[in-house]
């Protein structure tokens, strides 16, 4: 029977390093896809709504997505509303992506401590 989560249970040993690194790569890939889709959404919004050139839309979206702040001056109310919504969205996406990336490492660390605690109880 397949488990619902791909993580080892508390009574299982740590994954071999190679399998753990594959898990990390999978999580990093998911995070990169989320970030790429979010960046694409920002580029399309800044180009279509704010009227920025493609390269300027990319720069602005990337700067907002990474928390650096806007670059281009926006003139229309629609562009400012989009920028506000995209900034809020970007904050959530960035934090979520970092959570996805660090989850396997944090799980491995906590699992290691759990195994050690069980050994000490014996």
- Give domain status of residue 48, yes or no: yes
The CA distance from 36 to 89, in Å, is: 14
- Give domain status of residue 25, yes or no: yes
What residues make up the domain containing 65? 21-121
Q: H/E element holding 69?
A: none
Answer for the pair 57, 49: CB distance below 8 angstroms, yes or no.
no
Answer for the pair 118, 112: CB distance below 8 angstroms, yes or no.
no
CATH number at residue 67: 1.10.287.70
Tokens of 41: 């959404």
User: pLDDT by residue (tens digit) across 32-78?
Assistant: 999 999 999 999 999 999 999 999 999 999 999 998 988 999 999 99
Q: Is the pTM of this model over 0.85?
A: no
């Amino acid at each position: 029977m397949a488990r619902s989560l791909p993580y080892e249970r508390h009574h299982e040993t740590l994954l071999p390093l190679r399998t753990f690194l594959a898990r990390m790569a999978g999580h990093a890939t998911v995070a990169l896809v989320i970030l790429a889709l979010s960046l694409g959404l920002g580029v399309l919004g800044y180009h279509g709504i704010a009227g920025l050139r493609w390269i300027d839309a990319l720069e602005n979206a990337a700067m907002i997505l990474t928390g650096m702040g806007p670059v281009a001056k926006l003139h229309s109310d629609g562009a400012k509303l989009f920028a506000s919504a995209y900034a809020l969205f970007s904050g959530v996406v960035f934090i979520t992506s970092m959570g996805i990336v660090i989850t396997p490492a944090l799980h491995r660390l906590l699992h290691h401590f759990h195994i050690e605690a069980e050994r000490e109880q014996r």
